[in-house]
Chain A
Amino acid sequence: MVFGLYTLLEAGLLFVNAIAILNEERFLRKLRSNQNTQQNYGDPTSVSSQIMTLIKSVQMVMRFPLIFCNTVVILMLLLFG
């Protein structure tokens, strides 16, 4: 399907945005308590713990670049439609 590189980049940016804005209180706490009761800090290689690690690291690392990329994309969309 012809999507163009820019469209795919924009889709990627939206995906990372979605990971970054997962609400801590409502959503991630539930996942974390599930993980704690299940594995008892024993198995850092299970799927849920890996996903938690991934989400946490994306939220921490990409916060500043995401702000920058979102600003750039918003400006470009405003200027060039």
Chain B
Amino acid sequence: MRTNGFYDQQTTFSNAYSNGYNQAGPFQPSPVMSSQQQNNIPSPFFNPLQAQNLFNDPVASMAVKYGSNLADQGKEFVQQNVDKWFSISKLKYYFAVDTNYVAKKLFIMLFPFLNRDWSVKYSQDDGTAVPPKLDVNAPDMYIPVMAFVTYILMVGVTLGTQDKFSPEKLGIYASSALGWFVIEVLLILLSLQILSVKSALKTFDIMAFSGYKYFGMILCLMGQLVLPDAYYFVLLYVCLSFTYFMVRNLKLMILMGNNNNQNNNQNGESNPYEQSSYGNKRRIYVLLFISLLQPLFIWWLTFKF
């Protein structure tokens, strides 16, 4: 519809000029508009119906139309191409958070032994996970993204207190931290694949859980700013609490994904005991591996300051 209007503009542009400036809208669909233009009564109030006709100059209004056309086409183009790599709607699920959720989640990260119920709630109508606004245990990407950026800023502050800061260093530390994040996510995905652990964890879930430890890193760096020796105590406590947090969070997702495999053996016969005990040992290894990666990376990315 809009492209038709655009082409109409081009053919009737000469008409608009010949009839005077007030007929800048032969492409306007509503008949009310054309009558208002022909009357040429400038309204003293800002009438939203006339908002499109704010420019009396047809060139400017045509430029506005063209620009908005281009923006629409660009938006469609971007959406189509980005959808090929990952779906944006699934990403939106991870950002559906509110302040209540963020506060509770940060509290759980620091004091995981106070939380009693770690199960992720599923919605009853479509069986997918409930968005993080309604369930504290659901993973989200808002905290990891914000914590990552804050961590880089904290690194800058820490370097500044030691007189070692320069703006290039921010970029260097940011790209190297991003590189380590990618390496960690790839390591976890690789271990899940090699040990053939089928779990309910999606890639975004793994990215979310790997990103939670940046909050711990921020606390370690803040502790170091207060007292240089306090860093080790804060590091110890943060490592312990994050390991416990990861174990409790992933235990349900990894160890329970095994129940779906018990009756679906490939040969058609069910060996529940043999497969479940074999599978469980691997799952425990994967769980321990993921949980122990967290304190390793917390230490690795903060010890040099």
User: With A2-B172, A2-B173 known to touch, is A8 a contact of B193 (CB < 8 Å)?
Assistant: no
Q: Is B178 an interface residue (CB 8 A)?
A: yes
Task: Tell me, in angstroms, the Cα distance from A50 to B195 when the chains sit together.
Answer: 7
Contact residues of B: prevailing secondary structure: helix
Task: Tell me, in angstroms, the Cα distance from A46 to B178 when the chains sit together.
Answer: 32
B141-187 residues with Cβ-Cβ distance < 8 A to A are 172-173, 175-176, 178-180, 182-183
Residues of chain A at the chain B interface (Cβ within 8 Å): 1-5, 8-9, 12, 44-47, 50-51, 54
Inter-chain contact B175/A50, CB cutoff 8 Å: no
Task: Tell me, in angstroms, the Cα distance from A8 to B182 when the chains sit together.
Answer: 10
30 contacts between A and B (CB under 8 A): A1-B176, A1-B304, A2-B172, A2-B173, A2-B176, A3-B176, A4-B172, A4-B175, A4-B176, A4-B179, A5-B175, A5-B176, A5-B178, A5-B179, A8-B176, A8-B180, A8-B183, A9-B179, A12-B183, A44-B266, A45-B196, A46-B196, A47-B195, A47-B196, A50-B194, A50-B195, A50-B196, A51-B194, A54-B193, A54-B194
Task: Tell me, in angstroms, the Cα distance from A11 to B79 when the chains sit together.
Answer: 33
B180-208 vs A, Cβ < 8 Å mask (1 yes, 0 no):
10110000000001111000000000000
Residues on the B chain within 8 Å of A45, using CB: 196
Residues on the A chain within 8 Å of B176, using CB: 1-5, 8
